[in-house]
Amino acid sequence: MSVTIRDVAEKAGVSVTTVSRTLNNRGYISQKTRNKISAAIQELNYSPNQLARSLFNARTQTIGLVVPSICHPFFSQVIQLLEQRLYHLGYHILMCTTEGNPGQESHIFDILRQSRVDGIIIGSPCLSDQKYANIGIPIVSFDTHMLGASVSVAANHDLGGRIAARALLAGGCRRVLQIVGDLSAKTDAVKRHRSFMEEMMAADCECISLPMVNNFTDLRSSRSVIESIFDFYPDIDACFATDLCAAEIVHCALTRRISIPGKLQVIGYDGTDAVAVMCPLLTVIRQPYEELTDRIVESMMELLNGGTPEPQIVLDHLTLVPGITTRNAGINQ
């Protein structure tokens, strides 16, 4: 038979109300009484019912986390860091993936409300901002700016695109191709494509933008698009894309005996930990993951405690991490 709060109260010689107040840290309880209750809990191996405590506190200690996919290295790295930080603060996550499907996201939205999550952290939403504006739950968005969010946190992607462009220009590139996602998507990441092109145009360098709508799980489809690059644009001398696409570009180039970085230079964007095991080592623009997740969690905690955090947070600490897929990558950042 499981141990109940009544058993603890009888063992400690106090009322059930006193045990409940002690567990929930409500009102004054003498240290002597606290010690008696603590000893009873340990002796009986009592585990408080989290659901019952959450009903008492009107908190579930749960944060909803909504992302397009766990397959994309950027999102998987953010998820890992967020889960670690929230766990140390006594929260756990209810994670949901949308696969970029508005219908699926709408269903997830309803589930999170029914689950009484304390707050929602969301990346790359596809529903209307108004849908989230009326939810009545604190929302922190990352890598996107949405009107329904109390706080938006993102890296300075405009700066990231410029750093990448300057590195390739320093390596002598004159005809560059960048792979772009859906420019109509509600994500701050599209800013890097615009700034990258601006830098190239200012240097009188040709810049080709190849659209590839984000499909976070169908890597085979992405591969077919990347393989076609060398058929349609055989004279490009540089490529700029997210880490996964950049790695696939390198792979396809090497299978065609295209020298890297001799004939083709490649820069990846995101700089996830997965880059470290890529061969050859990819030059990347690394996003500030630790700072990004710290600010997301700090903002959420401030909202939950009734505070008013900064509504829009832009992080400038993007770094160029040289690999062997570029020449002179560290110049003119």
Task: Read off the pLDDT of residues 33-46 as tens digits, 9 standing for 90 and up.
Answer: 888 988 888 888 87
Is 42 part of any domain?
yes
Q: Which of 35-44, 129-138, 251-260 has the lowest mean pLDDT?
A: 129-138
Residue 242 β-bridge partners: 269
C-beta atoms surrounding 60 within 10 Å? 18
Is 90 part of any domain?
yes
Q: In Å, what is the CA distance from 110 to each residue of 114, 117, 134, 210, 333?
A: 6, 11, 12, 36, 45
SS3 47: coil
126 and 76 in a common domain: yes
Is 324 part of any domain?
no
Angstrom distance (rounded) from CA 85 to CA 91 = 9
Is 105 part of any domain?
yes
Nearest to 138 by CA among 261, 250, 270, 297: 297
Is 321 part of any domain?
no
Convert the pLDDT of each residue in 160-186 to its tens digit. Answer: 999 999 999 999 999 999 998 766 666
Q: How many CA atoms lie within 13 A of 287 on its CB side?
A: 27
Q: Please measure the distance between the N-terminal and C-terminal CA atoms of the chain and give it in whole angstroms.
A: 66
Is 333 part of any domain?
no
What are 313's two structure tokens? 């947070």
Give the total residue count for the chain. 333
331 DSSP 8-state letter: S
Q: Which of 18-27, 62-71, 154-163 has the lowest mean pLDDT?
A: 18-27
Q: Which is more confident, 187 or 319?
A: 319
**Residues spanned by the domain of 19:** 5-57
46 and 261 in contact (C-beta within 8 Å)? no
- Residue 327 is which amino acid? R
- Residue 291 is which amino acid? E
CATH number of the domain within which 193 lies: 3.40.50.2300
pTM across the whole model: 0.79
Is 327 part of any domain?
no
48 and 13 in a common domain: yes
169 and 263 in a common domain: yes
**How many domains are contained in the chain?**
3
Q: Mean pLDDT, the chain, as a whole number?
A: 85
306 and 281 in a common domain: no
CATH number of the domain within which 25 lies: 1.10.260.40
10 and 49 in a common domain: yes
C-beta atoms surrounding 259 within 10 Å? 9
C-beta atoms surrounding 208 within 10 Å? 16
203 and 110 in a common domain: no
193 and 137 in a common domain: no
Q: Which of 78-87, 213-222, 225-234, 251-260 has the lowest mean pLDDT?
A: 213-222
300 and 189 in a common domain: no
Strongest mean pLDDT among 145-154, 207-216, 236-245: 236-245
161 and 126 in a common domain: no
Q: Which is more confident, 18 or 251?
A: 251
84 DSSP 8-state letter: H
Residue 66 β-bridge partners: 96, 122
Instruction: Please say if the pLDDT value at position 108 is more than 50.
Output: yes
Please state whether 229 falls in left (phi above 0), alpha (psi between -120 and 50) or beta: alpha
Convert the pLDDT of each residue in 67-86 to its tens digit. Answer: 988 888 899 999 999 999 99
Q: Which of 107-121, 248-262, 276-290, 310-324 has the lowest mean pLDDT?
A: 107-121
pLDDT at 332: 43
C-beta atoms surrounding 221 within 10 Å? 12
144 and 183 in a common domain: no
What are 109's two structure tokens? 């939205």
Instruction: Please say if the pLDDT value at position 211 is more than 50.
Output: yes
> DSSP alpha helices (H): ranges in the chain?
5-12, 16-23, 31-44, 50-57, 73-88, 102-114, 129-133, 157-170, 190-202, 219-232, 243-255, 289-304
pLDDT at 58: 62
119 and 88 in a common domain: yes
Q: In Å, what is the CA distance from 194 to each residue of 172, 179, 243?
A: 21, 12, 18
Convert the pLDDT of each residue in 272-316 to its tens digit. Answer: 998 888 889 999 999 999 999 999 999 999 999 888 889 999 999
258 and 212 in a common domain: yes
Give the CA-trace dihedral at 316, 322, 325, 327, to 10 degrees.
Answer: 100
Instruction: Please say if the pLDDT value at position 250 is more than 50.
Output: yes
Is 323 part of any domain?
no
Relative orientation angle of helices 31-44 and 5-12, to the nearest 10 degrees = 120
